[in-house]
């Protein structure tokens, strides 16, 4: 029987080699590759861009080099939030070869110290994932002080005021503010010059007594020649009737079991208030009312029924009263039943 052979091309001719010898050559090549793997090398893996003004695009080219003795393959590049990475011009680098990896960081709506990481995936057996980093500080163009307005709890019918200062942080002399708007008619925003005479504005934010009972939130939109600015305004209007807690969490309830939670409804007015009904938006949750002090205080027992199907639980209670200003109080509830995941 003839031994298996392999024909190898040699220029214009050819050479017939025994198959076993050819296999031996392939094994030798594999052994060489394993003994002399590719090596990713990045001389400066951290780039500190110092300070950048908000809205600028910080760019930098990281240099990837193959310092090994066999081919380096760049298989993927992933970024953390806020960066854009252009693909390198080459994904296959011969020994000693280098390629640039362009990275851009959009600083819009960023502020303070920032760190952004880019992960490079290669066939380097010792460093299959290599991280390069952009870091520095983003300086705002325009600032609101305070950055948000919290009116906290305000009694229904009462008024409240907060002050807001708008500043230009660029140091320029051409700063000017355009329109200032908000959507809630129960919040009135009045503009005046800053008391220190600097560029910008002072905003007086007035919460009117007409704001209805319950939580509220709004956004003040400020237009300037630097960038738009948004200031969140929020709080809660309280009435004579108050619920504690304001929402119900059943937490994680084991499969098939029930759970109880207690609400306390108090009436701070001089006139007695009756609870006329309690209903639930979810049939797995019941509620019953018990007067503690007639017309003044009530205990509401909220029960999650046994054998409620596994999964997320959400809904709300509607508590009906004979109060002319708070005829319906709502209480959200939520939880997880059984072994639900996701």
Query: Per mean pLDDT, which range of 144-153, 167-176, 204-213, 313-322 is the poorest?
Result: 167-176
Displacement of CA 11 from its chain's centroid (Å): 62
- Please compute the mean of the pLDDT values over residues 99-121 and round it to a whole number: 91
Strand 57-66 and strand 40-41: pairing? antiparallel
pLDDT in the model for residue 108:
84
pLDDT tens string 39-76: 999 999 999 999 998 888 999 999 999 999 999 999 99
d(CA 15, CA 114): 62
pLDDT in the model for residue 31:
54
- Please compute the mean of the pLDDT values over residues 123-137 and round it to a whole number: 94
Preceding omega of 146 cis (within 30 degrees of 0): yes
Asked if the model's pLDDT at residue 217 lies above 70, the reply is: yes
d(CA 62, CA 236): 51
Contact 36, 124 (CB under 8 A): no
pLDDT band at 214 (very low <50, low <70, confident <90, very high): confident
- Please compute the mean of the pLDDT values over residues 291-303 and round it to a whole number: 95
Residue 202's Cβ-count burial label (10 Å; 0-12, 13-18, 19+) is middle
pTM of this prediction exceeds 0.85: no
Asked if the model's pLDDT at residue 291 lies above 50, the reply is: yes
Nearest to 194 by CA among 149, 143, 228, 231: 143
pLDDT in the model for residue 10:
46
Using CA atoms, how far residue 295 sits from 241, 276, 281, 291, in Å, is 11, 11, 25, 8
User: In this structure, what token pair is assigned to residue 265?
Assistant: 């409804």
pLDDT band at 30 (very low <50, low <70, confident <90, very high): low
Query: What percent of the chain is predicted at pLDDT more than 70?
Result: 89
| Secondary structure in 3-state letters for the chain | CCCCEEEEEECCEEEEEEHHHHHHHHHHHHHHHHHCCCCEECCCCEEEEEEEECCCEEEEEEEEEECCCCCEEEEEEEECCCEEECCCCCCEECCCCEEEEEEEEECCCCCEEEEEEEEEEECCCCCCEEEEEEEEEEECCEEEECCEEEEEEEECCCCEEEEEEEEECCCCCCCCEEEEECCCCCEEEEEECCCCCCCEEEEEEEECCCCCCEEEEEEEEEEECCCCEEEEEEEEEECCEEEECCCEEEEEECCCCCEEEEEEEEECCCCCCCEEEEEECCCCEEEEEEEEECCCEEEEEEEECCCCCCEEEEEEEEEEECCCCCCEEEEEEEEEECCCCC
Preceding omega of 245 cis (within 30 degrees of 0): yes
Q: What is the average pLDDT value for the chain, to the nearest integer?
A: 89
- Please compute the mean of the pLDDT values over residues 215-233 and round it to a whole number: 93
pLDDT band at 9 (very low <50, low <70, confident <90, very high): very low
Query: What percent of the chain is predicted at pLDDT more than 90?
Result: 75
d(CA 188, CA 180): 11
Query: Per mean pLDDT, which range of 18-27, 32-41, 254-263, 283-292 is the poorest?
Result: 18-27
- Please compute the mean of the pLDDT values over residues 246-260 and round it to a whole number: 94
The residues with which 66 forms a beta bridge, in sequence order, are 40
């Amino acid at each position: 029987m003839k031994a298996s052979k392999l024909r190898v091309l040699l220029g214009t001719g050819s050479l017939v080699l025994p198959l076993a010898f050819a296999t031996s050559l392939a094994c030798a090549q594999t052994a060489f590759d394993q003994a002399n793997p590719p090596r990713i090398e990045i001389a400066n893996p951290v780039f500190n861009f110092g300070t950048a003004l908000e809205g600028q695009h910080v760019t930098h080219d990281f240099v990837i080099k193959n310092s090994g003795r066999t081919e380096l393959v760049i298989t993927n590049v992933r970024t953390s939030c806020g960066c854009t990475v252009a693909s390198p011009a080459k994904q296959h680098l011969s020994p000693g070869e280098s390629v640039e990896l362009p990275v851009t960081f959009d600083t819009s709506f960023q502020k303070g110290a920032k760190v952004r990481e880019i992960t490079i995936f290669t066939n380097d057996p010792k460093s299959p994932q290599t991280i390069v980093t952009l870091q520095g500080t983003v300086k705002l163009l325009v600032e609101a002080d305070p950055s948000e307005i919290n009116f906290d709890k305000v009694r229904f019918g009462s008024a409240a005021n907060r002050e807001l200062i708008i500043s230009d942080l660029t140091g320029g002399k051409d700063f000017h503010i355009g329109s200032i708007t908000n959507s809630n008619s129960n919040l009135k925003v009045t503009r005046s010059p800053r008391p220190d005479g600097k560029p910008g504005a002072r905003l007086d934010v007035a919460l009117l007594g007409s704001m209805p009972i319950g939580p509220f939130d709004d956004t003040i939109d400020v237009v300037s020649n630097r960038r738009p600015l948004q200031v969140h305004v929020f709080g809660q209007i309280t009435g004579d009737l108050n619920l504690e807690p304001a929402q119900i969490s059943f937490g994680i309830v084991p499969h098939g079991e029930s759970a109880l939670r207690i609400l306390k409804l108090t009436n701070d007015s001089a006139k007695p208030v009756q609870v006329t009904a309690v209903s639930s938006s979810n049939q797995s949750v019941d509620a019953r009312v018990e007067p503690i002090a007639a017309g003044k205080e009530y205990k509401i027992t909220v029960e999650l029924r046994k054998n409620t199907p596994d999964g997320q639980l959400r809904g709300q209670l509607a508590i009906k009263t004979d109060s002319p200003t708070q005829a319906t109080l709502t209480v959200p509830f939520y939880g997880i039943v059984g072994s639900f995941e996701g």
